[in-house]
Structure formats: C-alpha cells, structure tokens
Amino acid sequence: MKILDVFELAIPEVKVIRFARFPDNRGYFSEQYRFSDFETGDAVPFMRGVRFLQANESYSRAGTVRGLHFQWNPYMGKLVRTIRGHMIDVALDVRKGSPTYGKIVAHDMPVQGDEAYAEWIWLPPGFAHGFQTLTDDVELLYCHSAPFNAAFEAGLNAADPRLGIDWPLPITEISARDSRHPMLNEQFAGVQL
C-alpha cells in the first residue's frame, strides 16, 4: 500500500490516511490495505497493535444518516472509507476525561473514479461514529477492531439539534433503531462542528 499522506482532524486522534490509486485508460488499481504498513510502517504508528476483526459494507441513498454509534466491551475502533459516491463522516468524542470530550469533527469523503488517491478515516475506540450520504448509490467499507456486540453498543440521535451538526442535506432516511437513540444529554449540550 502506498501511503501518500496522513493528517489529523480537529480532534488529533481522528486521522485521515490518504493512499495511492493508479489510474489508467481502463480505470484504476489500488492496494487498500497492507497489514505490514499498519503494523510496522512509519506512516501510521498510531495503528500499531490494531487488529481488524470484522469488516462491514453499507449501501445508502442520498440524504441517509447512519449513526451515531459507539461500542464498549470490547471497545471498537473503525477504519472507514467511501468506495463509491459521496459522504460526510462524523465523529463525536465520548471518552470521559478527554480534553476533546463532547467535540465533533466531520470530514468530506467524495470518491471519483479518476482520482490518484483514496482515503481511510481512522476513528479510535471512544468515538461515536455516523455519516450522511450526499449522493445516491453510496457504498462504504468499515473495518472494525472488535466484533459487534449488541449488548454493549449504544448511540446518540443524529437528528438532535443540540449536537450542532449542520448536515448538508435534510435527513430523509434514518433507521427506526437510530431514530430511537436518545437525544443528547446535558453534558454534551453546545457541541459544535
């Protein structure tokens, strides 16, 4: 995997990993993941020791919001990327005692077929994760550092205006499960992007 750049977002533990795609007249080729780059490479030392135990894929239509989900026991980190389409990825720090506790970051993740790079976003354990799809036919790939455990998974309602998320589109699709997540409690009030 040819890692081109790694940069942190406003919450330093949330990272974007940009890697090379090799386009030609047929389309493109990319090596999306190589264990040795993540385990021993100098470009992503924050990934050392992270093992991906589950991979999920989602497909969504424009305006869909999924999340904000987080898990403990076991704690789960996520490596997420857009395979097709355009989405905005959102992370909310739910780590008690963290200097960025209650803060949100967002990252725009469009994909075009002719770009010379693609991106992963790394959300370490302790972050609630969600996204909104901005185009139809959006496909995402998620790699998880822990298997899903429904007994220790929770979420916050992404439509809660107190989160301060300025979703680019009206929320047209949200699952019944996600709409039942609780609204933000007072300790997160006033969170802004």
Q: From the candidates 28, 59, 69, 144, which is the catalytic residue? A: 69
User: What six digits make up the tokens of 173?
Assistant: 């699709």
Residue 33 among the catalytic residues: no
Site of tokens 């040819």: 2
Residue 4, Cβ density class (10 Å: 0-12 exposed, 13-18 middle, ≥19 buried): middle
Q: Which of 28, 33, 101, 142 is catalytic?
A: 142
123: β partners: 78
Tens-place pLDDT, residues 82-121: 999 999 999 999 998 899 998 999 999 999 877 889 999 9
Helices (H) and strands (E) in the chain, counts: 2, 13
User: Which pLDDT does position 16 carry in this prediction?
Assistant: 97
Question: CA 106, 111, 112, 118 torsion: positive or negative?
Answer: positive
pLDDT(191) > 50:
no
The CA-based diameter of the chain, rounded to the nearest angstrom, is: 54
Least trusted range by pLDDT, from 18-22, 165-169, 174-178: 174-178
In this prediction, residue 189 carries a pLDDT of: 46
Q: Is 181 part of the annotated catalytic residue set?
A: no
